[in-house]
Structure 1
């Protein structure tokens, strides 16, 4: 019976992930709010369902009956192995994130436009938030030397958007889910979609503070230069992330023709995730 639970959770997760469609690598159409809810649900629900199934099996243990059928060690060991894999992945990513924060803290602290930032000694154009819940803003010398004061202000406004939404913190956990479920269909496609939507949200926040045209110019200047950190860097949210090809074009178009303000997410958007906790109810049928 426990093995049937595992196979059911895997089948549901696989079917949900396969329902994602992203033809020819283009971004799906629709409002930011709709795209965010759909992508986040398809990205998070399957891993959460599998995780809750493993938790339920762990609570039930390797002995006893469920639905009149005896249980055994096999499904219990599978659940234990999967949870251990989740835990090890979390520790590994947390260590990598700590290393990123440590490297950022080694940079000198300077005052820029009334904001305390870490100055990175490189000619590359880079600006990004690095950290967890309270990230630090890291700016390269190359960015300060090559961008005008107005362009620098637009970059800082974009990074303030990342700070406002705590993107480094939340995307650390989403990155953890990504690393644990890379074997599921469309994991990378959904991850890239969420990264892109994150940048559109930060762009929208900055566009309400500075001239959107200046921000668009800053984005083009930063992307055209080699970045210091890649988009896969742990606990980092930078202006140039996901700024290539069609996605860069979409960000520029969104800045030149600003959409309605990004709506705040409400708790009702999380109701669908409650279904992932259904495996926990099976514990009461285990004797």
Structure 2
């Protein structure tokens, strides 16, 4: 049975009569690293805060762990870790001391402290004051605070914001390890699409408070552009049209959208068998950024 860790149905939220979330629905399943994508102000943080009961919503339902309605009780929060917007901790305490406070308040095993410090790579800096941490170390401490109860779901809002390339890579590698190593499902928002593309298996694209796409990232990326250049452009157009291929023309290139490697092989053979010399046949991969812009701006 597939475990639905988060199921959002027809969620609507207004601020002063302005619709911020417009009837959105999506499902995060156990083991996912689920990317929640959108420009700043698209409603990502609002959705996460609604899941965490940090704000009320106007319509719809949010269910967790295969059917628990979050409106019914707060018990589910014991199995949820989160880092929203930026880490919150005491700068005049050490990393270890910050974790110790959460461990005591939540009545967790004391060994969880050393475990999460090891997971986020802060063991050697455990007894250093948090105010002396670099930005990347602060982000990792924030994730450690969210992980200390080893939750079923980890909710991360823009966890790589402001980090240098090395820090971004460290956070990315950490997040990618969580489902397999620790059984933690990850729900992560970001507008840094190049990074999200490297870690998630599913995505939802949010634009102006509406879900424009939800599904497997492989499905989103499978459409590719096939660029064709031959010694006779006019004859090439005729052959493709006779077989009902839809194409565009850019200078001397013919472009077929939504292609695949198999289609490229078939088209190459068709042209060669028709006596047309093929000088270039190039299948271009769409980046997540290209797809995002196409969906949200109609590019």
TM-score grouping bracket, smaller chain normalisation: under 0.3
Quick one: higher RCO (CA 8 Å, sep 6+), 1 or 2? 1
Q: TM-score, normalised by structure 2?
A: 0.23
Greater Rg by CA: 2
Give 1 or 2: higher helix fraction.
1
